[in-house]
Each structure stands twice: as structure tokens, then as C-alpha cells.
Chains A and B, each alone.
Chain A
Amino acid sequence: MSETGNEVIEIREVFKHFGPVAAVDGVSIGIRRGEFFSLLGPSGCGKTTLLRMLAGFEHPTSGEILIDGQSMTNVPANRRPTNMVFQSYAIFPHLNVEENVGYGLRNRKLGKEEMRAGVAAALDLVKLGGYGKRAAHQLSGGQRQRVALARALVCRPKVLLLDEPLGALDKKLREEMQVELRQLQRNVGITFVFVTHDQEEALTLSDRIAVMSLGKVLQIARADDLYERPNCREVAEFIGNMNLFEGKVAAATGANVTVDTAAGQLVAEADTQLATGAPVYIAVRPEKMTLSTKRPEQGQNALKGRIIAETYLGDRRQYLLATAAQEKPVTVSQQISGIETKAPSEGDVWVSWRPELARLLTS
């Protein structure tokens, strides 16, 4: 996977302990030059601690971080080729917009004109041209976010670190900023490391995503791979909706694996060789499933159930099915295109899916 030499950040076996708690628990990640990389996970998973270690505000208990091939172990925060957009934006309240953006340039031994030009260019880049004289307290949330971006980008960092920068914005503004942020990253070509707990945001923005939980990295993959091919239950359940059926391998013939579950025998495709009797989960996305009133033809996985709830979501309708197989209801999502044929709310229905649309998870 990793193309050595092309990685701007190497995180090697990094641990961070706060007292007895391991906030970051043996993380190794390679982040490629120019990519939009996200650290995704629920709060407390260690993603912010990891980001702060990249910035130099926290120090690994053990392990090493390299930026551009150089160890950062003894490099203080102010000497690192990284800049950060803080969650609170950290706009200096005693300085105006221009002074905020120019803050980091003071150490560059630039001429006055050069500095002014740099600041103006950075403000244009974030579409705040002409706002230079505004006082910090006159800015809206979105504007503060832009100032924070400009202030970091004007220093031309090798890596831009973003700590949930869109978290404080309302939904509509957040979606606009997502598009802009993505375009900005393409334009400047700087590596972005983006921390978020919002899976949709990570999927929308990132080239690659590292899903974290309890201090560990579960999976590093592109957005579509993460969704289509999660490598474990936790990732599968954290990203989108997933139906899981627990079972044991009954037989494996070629790519097709037959699994004994409480719902009977189900078939799924596997990438790896699995021993008979191995405990596995069959994972199926709700939109890969079909509902029908009659038993579907052979060669499909099928379960009988009753609809216990349905939710209308505009472009699709989501059903919850109670089955005899397991306590947790099965979620089925049906796209509404053209005239909708609704599933009957009374009586038995069949839910079915093709074996190649399911994933086999071993953990």
C-alpha cells in the first residue's frame, strides 16, 4: 500500500499515555504528499491527541513521528513545518484580520510589502479579500474559520492540520465549507490532515480515511473502499448502516462461502481462505437488499420477516424488519425512483440479496 518516499508524514508505532489511559495505542500511519487525509472516529478515540502530536503540542510516550523524512521528536511546535486550524479557530482577539493572518510571517524576515502581499493573497484565497481591517470580534463563525485557514496557509506549511474545523458551523454553512475546503486543498496542493467525528464529512472530503477507535487505527482506506469493504464489524457499523448476521463457516467453495447462521444458511463472497467452523459475520448494506412478497428464486440469500417500522427519507424509504433469526431488526433501504411500489405493512415479506453484495467479516 505505502509508496515510500511519497509519504510526507510517517507515524511509527506511536503510543500516548495519560496516566494509565492509552489515548493513542500503537498507531502507525503513512500520509501521502498532497492528499486529503482524515482521522475519523467517535470522541475520545485519540484522533485529536494524534493531531496534536503532529503539531507538537503533545509528545508521544513512545514511537516516532517523521515529517518529510525528519524525526519530529525533538522539534518544538514552533519549528515544525505544520500549521493548524484549531477547533475554536483561536483567532487572536486583540488583533484584526490582517494582523491575525500575518502573525506567522513575522518570523520569516519578509519585507513589509512582501508581508502585505502575502496576507492579501491568503485572504483572497479564502474569499475574505477586503476584510483585512475587521476586528476579530466582528467576524461571524464562518469568517473566523476562513481567517484561521488563511493564517495557517500563508505560512506555506508542508502539512495543514485541521481539528474539527467545521464542527461549530450550522449544517448548511458546513456543507458549503466542505466543498470549498476540498477545492482549496486541490488548489494549494498542501497535505491536509483533517480530524472529524462526522463520517459523512470524512467521506465527502477525503482521499483516504483512517478510522480510529479507543486509540487504535481500525482501517485506512479510500472512502468507497471503507464503505464497500470494511475490514471489521466496528468500521462496518460506524460508517453508514450495516446489517450483521453472526455465524460459523459451513463450507467454502472457491470464492463462495456458506455460513451457518440463526437465519439458516447464507452465502457470501470472501477475499481470504476461511477454515470450516471459523466464526464470521455476514455484513449487508440496507440498500443492497430487496423486499418482495413472494419467496425469491434460488441462488439468493433470503429471510422471512415482518415490517415493524418504516421511515420516509425523500429519495428512499427505510424499513425495519423483525425476523425469527435474530433480536436486532434488519434494516432495508429501497430507492424511490419513478412510482414507488411500497412494501406491504401487513403480513410476511421476504428480504433477499445476492451473495456477491455481502461482505464476510472475521472480526
Chain B
Amino acid sequence: MKRPLLFYAILFMVFLYGPILLAPLFSFNDSIFATFPLKGFTFRHYAGLATNTGLLQALEASLIVATASSIIATAISVPAAIALTRHKLPGSAAIIAGMSAPLVIPSIIFGVALLIILLRFLGVELSLWTIGASHVFICIPFAMTVLMSRLEGFDKSLEEASRDLGEGAWMTFLRVTLPLAMSGIISSLLLCFITSFDEFVLAFFLSGTQPTLPVYLFGQLRFPNKLPGMLALGSSILFASALLVILAELLRRRGVPSNSAGET
């Protein structure tokens, strides 16, 4: 083997994608079992999804929660990211660390802790609102990472130039910061949307009568006869997530041409 690392990298990718791609594979298999050998190609598991009212309600719930929490999380993170990248604030390291907490602390702890405060201390009923609030929180580190790297990616003197040319803080934000950060904002929205849409543990703990899609899916996994339908559902979710990630990544990488001389 001339290039052992390349060989390893390919094996790595097979390990990474193999299990994930089994769900789409079996979802097209004309059988109610996820087993080899494959029987035949069919779309019928997908067709069944469209008429499943429980599923459609869960999908609707997920879309509402994911849309709302991605917008709110991004809206909170934009000013925070500006503050942390543009103002030299005392304590900013601690604030950044605090905001990354959802990445590190097991989500079961959050789920349980939120359950306690909502039910035992505040007496709030569980609903899509409680799920959404928790999702805003776990989206913050992703939104902050994307937005801060975007804001750090362009020359601070661009904003100074705008001030120098007569614009105040608010107009500088509108005319320079916002357009330059736009790719980051969109990619933050997309990534937060995916995060919320796919989130299971918090939604499981905090859902009331209305489940989100992952919670619904989890509930259905107990019934073997529902398996093919759930494989089709899972495959659809995987496909949609992958599409959004690719879009977000493209946006994040492209961004705006930087402030340096071109090749001409």
C-alpha cells in the first residue's frame, strides 16, 4: 500500500457512512424487515408517510419549534457575537465558556434540570414552548461559533472606515457589518434549524402532549411492524439535514471576498 493514510481515510469514511446509509437502503427494500438479502425496490414505505396523521402533526411541531428557535437563537447571538469580537470586554473568556456549556454538559442534565424548574418550581405546563426554549439554549454555541468566526474573518478597519466616512454605530451595522456577516447569519440559521429539528433528549423530557418528530420516531421504534415506515422517515430526515448542512457549509466557506488584493 503506497498511501496508507488515504487507505485509512477511506475505511474511516466507510465506517462513518456505512451504518447511516443502511437506513435509506432498507427503506427502499420491499420487505417489512431490515435484513439481507434485499428483496426488491419499492417506494411504498415512503408513500405511507404522507397519510400518517400522527407523523404529520409531529413534523409540523418540529418545523415550528426549529424555525422559531433558530431565528431566536441567531437573533440573540448576532449582538452577542459583535460584542465579543468588537468590544474588548472584561470577562469575555468566561462568557464564551458559559455559552459553550450546552456542548459539554450531557443533555440529560439539562433535560432533568429544566423539568425540575418548570414543573416543581414554576408550575409551567410542558408544551412546544418549553421544547423551543431549551432548543434556543442548545443552539447558542453553534450560532456563536459560526457568527464569531465570520465576524473575526473580516477586517475590523472596514467598520472603522464606515465610521470615518460619517456613519454612526447603527448605520455602520446596517451598511457594513450586516451585509458582510450575512452568510454567517444564514448558515447559523440553517445549523440551528438542523440542531433543533434533530434534537431528541430535551424534546423527550420537555414535550407535553405534542411530540416533535424525533420523539414521535422514538416512540414508534418500539413497534417492529412500524420499522419500514420509520426507516423511510429517518431517511427523509437524513436527506433533508444533509442538504441543509451542505448549504450552510457552502455559505460559510464562500462568504464574501476578503479585503485583500485580487489576482488581477
A and B in direct contact, judged by CB atoms within 8 A: yes
Known contacts A78-B167, A90-B155, A139-B261, then 4 further A-B pairs from the complex at CB < 8 Å, ordered by chain A residue:
A76-B163, A78-B166, A92-B158, A151-B165
CB neighbors of A among B135-164 (8 A): 154-155, 157-158, 160-164
Question: Complex formed: what's the CA distance from A34 to B245 in Å?
Answer: 56
Q: List 16 A-B pairs, Cβ < 8 Å.
A: A77-B163, A78-B164, A78-B166, A78-B168, A86-B157, A86-B161, A88-B157, A90-B157, A90-B161, A92-B161, A103-B161, A136-B257, A137-B262, A139-B264, A152-B164, A155-B166
Q: How far is the CB of B163 from chain A (nearest CB, A)?
A: 4
Q: Most chain-B Cβ atoms within 10 A of its Cβ — which of A88, A90, A94, A151?
A: A90
One of A56, A83, A89, A93 near B256 (C-beta < 8 A): A93
B260 surroundings in chain A (CB, below 8 A): 88
A93 touching B154 by the CB < 8 A rule?
yes
Q: Does A311 contact B (CB under 8 A)?
A: no
Residues of A within 8 A of B257 (CB): 93, 135-137
The answer to whether A141 and B157 have CB atoms under 8 Å apart is no
Give bound CA distance, A227 to B258, whole Å: 41
Which residues on A sit within 8 Å (CB–CB) of B157? 86-88, 90
Contact of B258 among A86, A93, A138, A140 (CB under 8 A): A93
A107 touching B167 in the complex, CB below 8 Å, given contacts A88-B155, A90-B157: yes
Out of B164, B168, B176, which one reaches A92, CB within 8 Å? B176
State whether the Cβ of A222 lies closer than 8 Å to any Cβ in chain B: no
Contact of A55 among B155, B164, B179 (CB under 8 A): B164
Question: What are the residues of chain B within 8 A of A144 when measuring CB–CB?
Answer: 261
At the interface, yes or no: B209 with Cβ under 8 Å from chain A?
Answer: no
- Do A84 and B155 have beta carbons less than 8 Å apart? no
Instruction: Give the residue of A76, A83, A94, A155 whose beta carbon is less than 8 angstroms from that of B180.
Output: A94
Q: How far is the CB of B151 from chain A (nearest CB, A)?
A: 14
Which among B160, B161, B165, B179 has the greatest number of chain A C-beta atoms within 10 A? Answer: B165
Contacts of A231 in B (CB 8 A): none
Q: Is A329 an interface residue (CB 8 A)?
A: no
Asked if A312 is an interface residue, CB under 8 A from chain B, the answer is: no
Q: Is the CB of A84 within 8 A of B262?
A: no
User: A88 CA to B157 CA in the complex, in Å?
Assistant: 8
Residues in chain A near residue B167, CB distance under 8 A: 78, 104, 106-107
Contact of B262 among A56, A86, A139 (CB under 8 A): A139
CB contacts under 8 Å to A, within B55-102, are none
Q: How far is the CB of B256 from chain A (nearest CB, A)?
A: 5
CA–CA, A77 to B168, complex, Å?
8
Closest to A83 in B: B164
Which residues in window 171-225 of B have CB below 8 A to A? 172, 175-176, 179-180
Chain B, residue nearest A108 (CB): B166
Q: A91 in the interface, Cβ–Cβ < 8 Å? A: yes
Bound together, the chains give a CA A327 to CA B235 distance in angstroms of 82
Indicate if the CB atoms of B163 and A140 lie closer than 8 Å. no
A170 to B74, CA, bound (A): 43
A285 vs B198: C-alpha distance when bound (angstroms) = 76
Contact in complex: A138, B164 (CB < 8 Å): no
The residues of B that contact A77 with a CB separation of less than 8 Å are 160, 163-164
Beta-carbon contact of A140 and B165 below 8 Å? no
What is the minimal beta-carbon distance from B154 to any residue of chain A, in angstroms? 7
Which residue in chain A gives the minimum CB-CB distance to B259?
A93
A334 within 8 A of B: no
Question: Of B155, B164, B256, which is within 8 A of A94 by CB?
Answer: B256
Interface string of A46-84 (1 = CB under 8 A from B): 000000000111000000000000000000111110111
Chain B residues lying within 8 Å of A140, measured Cβ to Cβ, are: 261-262, 264
**Nearest CB of chain A from residue B173's CB, rounded to whole Å:** 13
